[in-house]
Amino acid sequence: MKVAIIGGGPAGLYAAILLKKQRPSADIAVYERNRADDTFGFGVVFSDATLDNFEKHDLPSYRRITQEFAYWDDIAVHFRGTVHRVGGNGFCGCSRQTLLLILQERARELGVVLHFEVDIEDESRFADADLVLIADGINSRFREKYVDHFQPEVDLRSNKFAWMGSTRPLDAFTFIFQETDWGPFIAHAYQYEAGHSTWIFETDPETFERAGLTGLNETQSAARMADIFGWFLDGHKLLTNRSMWRNFPMIRSKRWVKDNMVLLGDAKASAHFSIGSGTKLAMEDAIALAEAMERAPSIQAALEVCEHGRREEVEKTQHAADVSLVWFEHVDRFWEFDPVQFAFGVMTRSKAITYDNLKLRAPDFVAEVEKSFARQVRSNGFDVNTDRPMVPLFQPFRLREMEVANRAVVSPMCMYSAKEGVPSDFHLVHYGSRAIGGAGLIFTEMTCVSRDARITPGCAGLWNDEQETAWRRIVDFVHANSATKICLQLGHAGRKGATKLMWDGIDRPLDEGGWEVFSASPLPYFPDSQVPRELDRAGMNAVRDSFVAAAERGECCGFDMLELHCAHGYLLASFISPLTNTRSDDYGGSLANRLRFPLEVFEALRAVWPKHKPMSVRISATDWADGGITGDDAVAIARAFAEAGVDLVDVSTGQTVRDAQPVYGRMFQTSFSDQVRNEARVATMCVGNITTADQANTILAAGRADLVALGRPHLVDPFFTMKAAAWYGADGAFCPPQYLPGKDQIFRNSVRERQDIEELRIKAKPRTRAELKAAATKPLAAE
Ligand SMILES: Cc1cc2nc3c(=O)[nH]c(=O)nc-3n(C[C@H](O)[C@H](O)[C@H](O)COP(=O)(O)OP(=O)(O)OC[C@H]3O[C@@H](n4cnc5c(N)ncnc54)[C@H](O)[C@@H]3O)c2cc1C
Ligand SMILES: Cc1cc2nc3c(=O)[nH]c(=O)nc-3n(C[C@H](O)[C@H](O)[C@H](O)COP(=O)(O)O)c2cc1C
């Protein structure tokens, strides 16, 4: 078999090694345009888990690599004169040049032929090769040559960065967030061998301009960075090596394989440097290819297996990189944060590390985070313990005069079980049990303001006395038997009305018994849905008045809070999104126009809703569709509602149009809550695939939301909050007297269970290489 490899970076060399080991008789050659000992960049970084993978696949190169590595466990965050160190991270760094020399040496030993200073212009010279690996890096010539086939998507990010080096020794992966007169600069730095460290500097394009970096050459810009970070460099120099400022390209290719050619490493997909995974991805691509070649019956089959089998893993890493890079691009959002909360945000930015996880490995750091959070709560007038504080989820919160005992919320969820809009015994038990279960706040399902405002025939409403009586019974029960507050969510289905019950076909039009539906514009939801009538001014008045009448009834029922539903493509949302609003009057066109009617309804409600009671608005912060609402629009929408008197923005997303492309995942809407809260400076509630109290604490402690709503988890577990309280020992949690013996038992058992689980986790955790190395080098007397 003949294999030609274009590019002698980590991907190309490691693939050559693994394939040659597998097929010693194969003719494998690597073509590299640089000299053998040329290198651009300084160090590379691997996690312990990545090294474990290398150990499994090629022991000799693993041994040589790990002999050369600098190890560290801590991440240090420098911000506004403070430094927070978090241990247990298990990383190591090595010089990129050393890595390449080790891989070259190992490849040669195995019989791979290495050609240096050969720039491949055209792959036709490999016409007789069975397999051609395109490992020519981020600016891949061959990916571009076959751009129509590989279909790469190149997203050039806004921040500027430059890769430099220094002789400054470092004993931790170090982030420095530096304020300057021009704006914020960030350094990502780590040591990769004795006396050498990598320094990646990053800043936003405006700060870059203001700092005058545009016109500077490499040496001058290094001098400017040395000025800014001089206090930390401690007399050490900054070194350059093609250290030009660039914008990071996030690359994703739709196809990786063409005939007998396959893209590997940066050529096919890149991952932002802030998660340090570029070289890891490149070498793991080589592993995936070698594994596929071992098992598949033909080269073609192997390439397909490699592409399909590896894509998910690569996309997961890229998603984590995306989330991380966005955090750094928007670091100014958090600049006013308490430094320990800021550091917690750095640690948990890509969602891989959570509250409980950090508490195990850095208990002192998390204790500080808890205290800082409690101090903020105390400064808002709550008499909470700041020496031994409760976790954030069990810290109280206030909106106007409404206080909630904890920050767990039951999200609004239609039960599709009302008759003629009247909530039944099912609703009493449903809401009653969730209140007894301990959530600080529960939302009603979308409660419709008129008969024709319903989504389905099973939707609850509040337009007549019978409904008012039924809701009052529920509210009274909640108030009499729990400490939970209850919020009424009012909505109008718009074009999604007259549809089937969820379990009969969500959003599908009723076969019979439907009613006429309205929307901002006459656009049906499904092609075969009813075409809605465009709401005229008289219709708007009627809708607004029915919202006001329902709110007045809500007050008579005793609800503690009122939410206006402006999300998910229903009537008010249909005005806000340009995808559903094509009007040419004062209610269409610009965002200000599209917001006019929803704001008018909100203001009318605010005028009748008691001043001491809070109001929220639920929005779709993105439509997940081209041309639709984006996170930036959501900030403008939140600001407009905040000016009109909203106390909380309930940040949901999507459900506007059928062809949306949501990116699901754990806590997938949290970044929008974060953006709205920290750019519009308004309190937010986040929701969406948040399933554990650990995740809720992570979100709250990082300042990404003020309240956390859980929908589906509460459908199967009304006692979610009580169980979480027991887990964290929040024994002030309310419990009705009838259930106290149960509470006593779960609190007793949970403390023990938690200790057992934590001990098991600590025991099961392998020692990091840094710990092993430290133990091995410790003098005997110190053992
Ligand atoms: C300037 C720079 C500095 C970097 N510094 C660091 C760092 O300090 N730490 C870190 O972790 N990551 C660093 N990276 C990123 C990291 O190197 C990549 O994520 C990783 O190397 C990807 O490996 P690869 O083999 O896919 O590509 P590369 O390492 O880019 O290797 C591709 C190779 O192909 C060669 N090549 C390209 N075209 C041809 C051709 N037509 N013919 C022959 N040869 C060709 C190139 O010369 C190169 O050696 C740096 C990247 C750049 C561009
Ligand atoms: C069965 C069901 C009914 C829902 N009904 C409503 C509703 O009436 N009003 C609303 O704003 N959101 C509604 N939602 C959305 C939820 O409030 C929540 O935003 C969504 O389920 C995501 O949160 P989760 O991942 O915790 O379930 C509903 C969701 C489900 C699953």
Q: Considering 190, 570, 587, 728, which one is annotated as catalytic? A: 570
**Ligand with minimal distance to 685 CA:** 2
Cβ count near 47 (within 10 Å): 18
CB 408 within 8 A of CB 567: no
570 catalytic, yes or no? Answer: yes
The per-residue pLDDT for range 700-755, each reduced to its tens digit, is: 999 999 999 999 999 999 999 999 999 999 988 899 999 999 999 999 999 888 88
| Position 68 pLDDT exceeds 80 | no
Cβ count near 299 (within 10 Å): 16
Residue nearest to atom 6 of ligand 2 (CA): 413
Q: Which atom of ligand 2 is nearest to the CA of 690?
A: 26
| Position 115 pLDDT exceeds 60 | yes
The per-residue pLDDT for range 149-208, each reduced to its tens digit, is: 999 999 999 999 999 999 999 989 999 999 999 999 999 999 988 889 999 999 999 999
What does the CA dihedral 135, 136, 141, 145 come to, rounded to 10 degrees? 0
Confidence class of residue 772 from pLDDT cuts 50, 70 and 90? low
The half-sphere exposure of 194 on its side-chain side, counting CA atoms within 13 A, is 2
Residue 769's φ and ψ, nearest 5 degrees, are -60, -35
Residue 492 near ligand 2, beta carbon < 6 Å: no
Expressed in angstroms and rounded, the spacing between residue 61 Cα and the centre of ligand 1 is 19
| Position 779 pLDDT exceeds 50 | no
| Position 778 pLDDT exceeds 60 | no
Mean pLDDT taken over the chain: 94
Report the Cα 117 to chain-centroid distance in Å.
Answer: 43
Confidence class of residue 45 from pLDDT cuts 50, 70 and 90? confident
Residue 618 near ligand 2, beta carbon < 6 Å: yes
User: Which of 91, 103, 138, 140 most suits a substitution to test ligand 1, by most atoms within 8 Å of the C-beta?
Assistant: 138
Return the pLDDT at 262.
97
Residue 569 near ligand 2, beta carbon < 6 Å: no
User: Which of 411, 447, 490, 691 most suits a substitution to test ligand 2, by most atoms within 8 Å of the C-beta?
Assistant: 411
Distance CA 75, CA 171 (A): 9
Cβ count near 606 (within 10 Å): 18
First to last CA, the chain: 54
Q: Of 506, 524, 429, give the one whose Cα is nearest residue 474.
A: 429
| Position 777 pLDDT exceeds 60 | no
Q: Where do we find the tokens 């790990």?
A: 66
**Ligand with minimal distance to 31 CA:** 1
Q: Of 99, 102, 104, 7, give the one whose Cα is nearest residue 44.
A: 99
Q: Of 339, 467, 307, 487, give the one whose Cα is nearest residue 413.
A: 487
Return the pLDDT at 427.
98
The per-residue pLDDT for range 320-364, each reduced to its tens digit, is: 888 899 999 999 999 999 999 999 999 999 888 899 989 988 899
Q: Of 164, 177, 167, give the one whose Cα is nearest residue 84.
A: 177
Element (H, E) at 433: helix 425-436
Residue 770 near ligand 2, beta carbon < 6 Å: no
Return the pLDDT at 639.
98
Mean pLDDT over residues 118-125, rounded? 94
| Position 57 pLDDT exceeds 90 | yes
**Ligand with minimal distance to 189 CA:** 1
Mean pLDDT over residues 53-81, rounded? 89
Return the pLDDT at 783.
31
Q: What is the CA radius of gyration of the chain?
A: 29
Report the Cα 553 to chain-centroid distance in Å.
Answer: 39
Report H helices in 584-692: 591-608, 631-643, 670-680
Residue nearest to atom 27 of ligand 1 (CA): 137
This prediction has a pTM of 0.91
CB 492 within 8 A of CB 572: yes
Mean pLDDT over residues 607-627, rounded? 98
Percentage of residues in the chain having pLDDT higher than 90: 85
Which residues contact residue 96 at a Cβ distance below 8 angstroms, ignoring those fewer than 6 apart?
A: 39, 40, 41, 42, 43, 44, 279
Percentage of residues in the chain having pLDDT higher than 70: 97
Return the pLDDT at 782.
36
Pick 765 or 291 by higher pLDDT: 291
Mean pLDDT over residues 506-515, rounded? 94
